[in-house]
Structure 1
Amino acid sequence: MRFLTLAEDDFDYGAPESVAPGVRRVVARNPSKFTYRGTGTYIVGGGDDVAVIDPGPLLDDHRDALARALDGRRVRAILVTHCHADHSPLAAWLRAETGAPTFAHGPHGAGGADWDIGSLPDDFGRPPADGAGAPGVDHEGGADAADAAGEPVVEESTDTDFAPDVEVRDGDEVFACDGVTVTSLHTPGHTSNHTCFALDGDEAGRILFTGDHVMGWSTTVVSPPDGDMDAYMTSLRVVAGRRDDVAIPTHGPPIPDPAGYVGGLVEHRIERERQVLDAVRRGRSTIPEIVTDLYADVRVELHRPAGASVLGHLVKLVADGDVDAGAQGARPRLDGTFAAT
Structure 2
Amino acid sequence: MSAHPNPGLVRSSPLTRFRLAPNPGPMSLDGTNSYLIGASGSAGVVVVDPGPLDEPHLQVLASAGAVEQVLITHHHIDHTEASARFHELTGAPVRALDPAFCHGGAPLADGEEIDAAGVRIRVLATPGHTADSVCLHLPDDGPAGSVLTGDTILGRGTTIIAYPDGRLGPYLKSLRRLAALGPATVLPAHGPVLPSLADICRKYLAHRHERLEQVRAALQRLGEDATVQAVTDYVYTDVDPSVRGAAESSVAAQLDFLRS
Matched residue, 1:266 = 205
Secondary structure at 1:293's aligned position in 2?
Answer: helix
Task: Decide whether aligned partners of structure 1 residues 205 and 267 sit closer, same or farther in structure 2, where only a CA change above 3 A counts.
Answer: closer
Give the gaps of 5 or more residues in structure 1: 1-9, 108-160, 320-341
Give the gaps of 5 or more residues in structure 2: none
Aligned match of 1:300 in 237, 241, 245? 241
Task: Please say which structure displays the higher CA radius of gyration.
Answer: 1
The amino acid that maps onto 2:97 is: H
Contact 2:13 2:141 in 1 (8 A): no
Distance 1:202 1:279 in 2: 44
Q: Which structure carries more relative contact order (alpha carbon 8 Å, separation 6+)?
A: 1
Matched residue, 2:87 = 95
Matched residue, 1:196 = 135
Deviation per CA, 1:252-283: give whole Å up to 9, x if none: 11110110111110011011011111101101
Distance 1:19 1:297 in 2: 34
Matched residue, 1:39 = 32
Matched residue, 1:168 = 108
Contact 1:20 1:204 in 2 (8 A): no
1:85-234 to 2 correspondence within 5 Å? 85-107=77-99, 162-163=101-102, 165-178=105-118, 180-201=119-140, 203=142, 205-234=144-173
The amino acid that maps onto 1:93 is: R
Deviation at 1:57, TM superposition (A): 1.1
Distance 2:142 2:207 in 1: 33
**Number of positions where the alignment pairs a residue of Structure 1 with one of Structure 2:** 251
Sequence identity, in percent? 34
Deviation at 1:204, TM superposition (A): 6.8
The amino acid that maps onto 1:36 is: L
Question: When the two structures are superposed, what TM-score results if normalisation uses the length of structure 1?
Answer: 0.69
Q: Which protein is richer in helix relative to its size?
A: 2
Deviation at 1:205, TM superposition (A): 4.8
Deviation per CA, 1:161-202: give whole Å up to 9, x if none: 623522222221223343x21110000111111111111226
Distance 1:22 1:202 in 2: 6
Question: When the two structures are superposed, what TM-score results if normalisation uses the length of structure 2?
Answer: 0.90
Secondary structure at 2:12's aligned position in 1?
Answer: strand
Secondary structure at 2:69's aligned position in 1?
Answer: strand
Contact 1:50 1:75 in 2 (8 A): yes
Deviation per CA, 1:2-46: give whole Å up to 9, x if none: xxxxxxxx99xx601111113111001100111000000001103
Matched residue, 2:46 = 51
Distance 2:83 2:143 in 1: 25
Cα root mean square deviation, aligned:
2.0
Matched residue, 2:8 = 15
Task: Decide whether aligned partners of structure 1 residues 235 and 203 sit closer, same or farther in structure 2, where only a CA change above 3 A counts.
Answer: closer
The amino acid that maps onto 2:211 is: R
Distance 1:202 1:162 in 2: 27
Contact 1:247 1:258 in 2 (8 A): yes
Secondary structure at 1:201's aligned position in 2?
Answer: coil
Matched residue, 1:312 = 253
Deviation per CA, 1:64-108: give whole Å up to 9, x if none: 33234x2xx21111110011101012222222222222222124x
Deviation at 1:244, TM superposition (A): 4.4
Deviation at 1:240, TM superposition (A): 1.2
Secondary structure at 2:110's aligned position in 1?
Answer: coil
Distance 1:83 1:177 in 2: 24
Task: Decide whether aligned partners of structure 1 residues 269 and 20 sit closer, same or farther in structure 2, where only a CA change above 3 A counts.
Answer: same
